[in-house]
Structure 1
Amino acid sequence: MIRSILAGVAALGIVLAAPTGAATAQSRAVASDQPIMIGADHVERTTTGFSLSGRAEVLQGDNRLRADRVQGAGGDSGGISQVTASGNVYYVTPTETIRGDRAVYTVSTSSIVVTGDVILTQGRNVLTGGRLTYNIDTGAAQMEGGTGSRIQGVFYPEGTRN
């Protein structure tokens, strides 16, 4: 079943609208309020935060950010304010998978920006482009084309078989 619908096409981007419904809104609304957990083969504390490498991952609620390397920056209160991932980046939610070369998650805006050969999948639906801005609380996404490239996608109507 298609959970997002094509909301509009712009010269440089496509916007996907999040599904409506009380259950979805409640589960998404708290994603950015969840604690942030980290894991990796190698963890290093830096003067401004932390550095992860080797099976590096950051988890928040049901969402997972995996990459070759992850850098975290601390906020004024000692928490995490921003996470930057690079190399084989995957951001996985219960309903979407986003793949790219680099990602920056800004905690205060609940948004993650993925760049470099971006692939967004939702079920069988696939959207590709150069830059994706994704709101982790609402599921809203905006895809932009890369330098000289177009946005492409394949969307399956509801009720179609594999």
Structure 2
Amino acid sequence: MKSSLTALGVVFGLSLVVGGAVAQSRANISDQPIGVGAGTGEMRSDGFSLRDQVEITQGPNRLRAEVIDGQGAGGQLRTITASGGVYYVTPEESIRGDRAVYTVSNATLVVTGDVILTQGKNVLTGSRLTYNVDTGAANMAGGSNGRIQGVFYPQKSN
């Protein structure tokens, strides 16, 4: 299995050029290489499957889950699907949920299940979060009784 993971790293982690527009002030996260690590994994003609302490990295962002599957064609990674204890962290936010799908072409992460978005001390919960990895824009929906809930702490000026 080690050779499969090595091939996986070369094909999907190092040699992939991930699509996305370049922001004027900084390079987009989605333009950076995607690295993978796992206890076990397998390569398929249409992608890969990783298990056991799986972690995907792209720039400073990390996606962890029990299982992560990647789908692609022609050497291009299209989607990454994570399930089981999903945890996505950036330098500014952390997101937890049951399942996540990252669409590489539009830099969008959709997290579903019991979703918790944390930014500093601020917390927002719901059942579906759409998050742009380049801009940090987030859209939360659902939650218990179809409502989202949150706690926000105002910044105090000195």
Asked whether the two chains share a fold, i.e. TM above 0.5, the reply is: yes
Identical aligned pairs, as a percentage? 61
Deviation per CA, 1:101-131: give whole Å up to 9, x if none: 0000000010000000000000000000000
Match of 2:25 in 1: 26
Deviation at 1:159, TM superposition (A): 2.3
SS of equivalent to 1:108? helix
Residue 121, structure 1, aligned to residue 121, structure 2: no
Structure 1 residues not aligned, in runs of 5+: 1-23
**Change beyond 3 A, Cα 1:25–1:140:** farther
Q: Paired residues, what number?
A: 135
Alignment partners' CA distance in 2, 1:80 and 1:105: 10
More helix by proportion, 1 or 2? 2
1:40 paired residue among 19, 38, 41 = 38
Structure 2 counterparts to residues 10-159 of structure 1, below 5 A:
26-27=25-26, 29-76=27-74, 78-146=75-143, 148-159=145-156
Poorly superposed stretches of 4+, deviation over 6 Å: none
TM-score between both structures, scaled by the size of structure 1? 0.79
SS of equivalent to 2:45? coil
Relative contact order higher in (CA < 8 Å, ≥ 6 apart): 1
TM-score between both structures, scaled by the size of structure 2? 0.80
Deviation at 1:26, TM superposition (A): 3.2
Alignment partners' CA distance in 2, 1:26 and 1:55: 34
SS of equivalent to 1:32? helix
Deviation per CA, 1:27-71: give whole Å up to 9, x if none: 4x4200000010000011122100000110111001100000000
**Change beyond 3 A, Cα 1:98–1:47:** same
Asked if the contact 1:25/1:138 (under 8 Å) is kept, the reply is no
